[in-house]
Copies of this chain bind each other. A is one copy, B any other.
Amino acid sequence: MPREIELTHTSHIVLGLLSMSGEATPYDLKQMVAGTVGHFWSLPHSQLYAEPARLARGGYVTETREPDGRRRKLYSLTELGREALEAWLRELTPEPYMLRDLALLKLFFGADIQALAEVQLATHRQKLSEYEALLAARPDQGSAGPWLALDLGTRHERETVGFWAEHTQPGAEDS
């Protein structure tokens, strides 16, 4: 009997990932997060064990067990879960984003911009090239969503690299 539970952001991520994979263990979810939404929306892996269980209580997913080996828990969407996901996707989303950037925060409070720029530039160049590699390997098949998201993510990275690059001492970090 499904108890009433609130669907949080984490819930929707789990529902979304399950809809993409059909069926997954918490460990699978953890791997999927790391390779996909984890790039911009991080969550502790412990949540990926707790949340599916919570969703099961609410009737949004079913919990079965691997017949063999470790008998790990396998989750997949119920009809209710799929509907909840689709309802969420259809809802209007006027909220702006939240950019939790420690470097930006420190910059605001007066940290030395060159010192920040130097390390941030390395980090974001790294990220940017990761994303570009992913984009380059895009198959023709499959849903567009993830690639569109990656496109926006890439633009943000590009912008960020540009910003920090303008604030490094010429020659201090380059090539």
Contact indicator B108/A120 (Cβ below 8 Å): no
Contact indicator A93/B88 (Cβ below 8 Å): no
Contact indicator B123/A95 (Cβ below 8 Å): yes
Contact indicator A105/B42 (Cβ below 8 Å): no
- A38: nearest chain-B partner, CB-CB: B98
Contact indicator B148/A105 (Cβ below 8 Å): no
Q: Does A145 contact B (CB under 8 A)?
A: yes
Contact indicator A89/B102 (Cβ below 8 Å): no
Q: Mark A109-134, 1 if CB is under 8 A from B, else 0.
A: 11111011001101110010000000
Which chain A residues in 61-113 approach chain B with CB under 8 Å?
85, 88-90, 92-113
Q: Does A172 contact B (CB under 8 A)?
A: no
